[in-house]
Amino acid sequence: SHYHPNYQNSNLKSIVNTKKSSSELIAQALINHISDIDHEVCEAGEEDSFFVCDLGQVYKSFQIWKQNLPQVHPHYAVKCNTDIEVIKLLEQLGANFDCASKNEIDTILNLGVSPDRIVYANPCKTNSFIRHAKTSNVNLTTVDNCQELHKLSKFHPECGILIRIATDDETAQCRLSTKFGCSIDSAINELLPLANELGLKVRGVAFHVGSGAKDFDSINKAVKDARIIFNKGIEQYGYGDSMNILDIGGGFELETFEQSSLVVKSSLQEFFPQTFIEKYAIKFIAEPGRFMVSNAFTLATHVIARRDIPQSISEDITAMIYINDGVYGNMNCILFDHQHPQAFVLKHKDTFHYQEQKIVNDATKGKHKFSIWGPTCDGLDCVSTQTQLDYDVQVGDWIYFPNLGAYTSAATTSFNGFKDKAHIIYVSSETIATK
């Protein structure tokens, strides 16, 4: 079957279209949206920043995952981008879900998704949320400490448990093991025996090597550690009937997936050989977030102000430009996710510009140097201290930022009274066949 968005119940504007490339569709949608906006006369907010989402890119990422890691079932990390059309598409493609809270669980269940497609992958849970998971029949969660086992024993004793272990995530841009994950020693000498004593069902092991890792040895080490815990659980605590899930977490990126997926494959083969998989009916799952959505969203912003900087004050920039989105809005990823959004000119004076995404290096940088600032009154609200653009942008021009799908719209604020949820225009560069 094909993916047919329900136009009546959603704000989907578009259309499955295989004739145009992703860039062409995005350019068309961006330009259509801004071409009628005259900043000299428009209503307040008409020139707000907005996204164009190419659902075809989500579809492609999902296919790449299936091709490279067919044995690992992706559970999309909803926290990464909670856009309902993205979630519905991934659901239709057969992805399951990683939820971090009651709200995320409800978002997924409200779509009619079966609760057994959810992993409640937050090792430190609110008691009432645990009770909610129980009444909602969400029966799989991650745990990394003894208190959490006691809480589960009290509020959701039938819940399956994945022991979340810490990883060696020093090379990751976003480290998670400083906050979550127990040592193997603690898993073996504290969590397994306590779970056994409390009569809890240990289903397996989970880890997350952090996001933006450059070194994938951490994956190999984590899979190796996981196997040690499986052995202990099965041999010493009799969990042979229930321990059958290895959750390899998230952190995967499209740019490095060829390499990271090879390390996953070889590590699984090394530590979870076919004989072991068959004997215990082992299943592999993962919690990719950014992998599915990063390149699917392009943000368009309006230049609201410009302050020229005399050369005697700075040689690095010719002007400070102020746009209507920033680190308190959809570019919070600069603060929270160590991202560096790349700016390109969309409209300068009366001319539209859009280019295929290019790698920006010294040779391709534009000659006009700016610092770029968000709209709030806070000095922290800086999008870029120096960006080189192709045009000498002015108030009323538009700038776009590709690759802003991950950890952007999910964590916006309305600080200083700015709108926290941007309008999204959907296109699809792929004809999307679903399960």
Is 289 one of the binding residues for ligand PLP (CB under 6 A)?
yes
Is 125 one of the binding residues for ligand PLP (CB under 6 A)?
no
CA angle, residues 102, 158, 237, in degrees to nearest 5: 125
CA distance to 16, 121, 173, 278, 280, per residue, from 142 (Å): 38, 5, 23, 24, 20
Q: Kindly write down the DSSP assignment for every residue of 264-333, as one continuous string.
A: HHHHHHHHS-HHHHHHHT-EEEE--SHHHHGGGEEEEEEEEEEEE--TTT-SS-SEEEEES--TTTTTTH
Is 77 one of the binding residues for ligand PLP (CB under 6 A)?
yes
CB nearer to ligand PLP: pick between 77 and 399: 77
CB nearer to ligand PLP: pick between 211 and 220: 211
Is 250 one of the binding residues for ligand PLP (CB under 6 A)?
yes
Q: Which of residues 390-419 bind ligand PLP (CB under 6 A)?
A: 406
Closest separation in Å from C-beta 52 to ligand PLP: 21
Catalytic residue from among 80, 182, 333, 377? 377
Mask: binding to ligand PLP, 202-231, rule CB under 6 A, as x and -?
Answer: ------x--x--------------------
Is 176 one of the binding residues for ligand PLP (CB under 6 A)?
yes
| Per-residue burial over 345-375, b = 16 or more CB atoms within 10 Å of its CB, e = otherwise | bbbbeeeebbeeeeeeeeeeebebbbbbbbb
Is 290 one of the binding residues for ligand PLP (CB under 6 A)?
yes
DSSP category for residue 363? T
Closest separation in Å from C-beta 174 to ligand PLP: 7
Closest separation in Å from C-beta 70 to ligand PLP: 19
174 as an active site residue: the answer is no
Q: Which of residues 8-67 bind ligand PLP (CB under 6 A)?
A: none
One-letter amino acid at 113 equals V
Structural tokens at position 204: 């397996």
CB nearer to ligand PLP: pick between 77 and 191: 77
CB nearer to ligand PLP: pick between 211 and 376: 211
Is 121 one of the binding residues for ligand PLP (CB under 6 A)?
yes
Largest CA distance in the chain: 75
State phi, psi for 384 to the nearest 5 degrees: -160, 135
> Where in the sequence numbering do the catalytic residues fall?
377
Q: Which residues bind ligand PLP (CB under 6 A)?
A: 77, 80, 98, 121, 176, 208, 211, 249-252, 287-291, 406
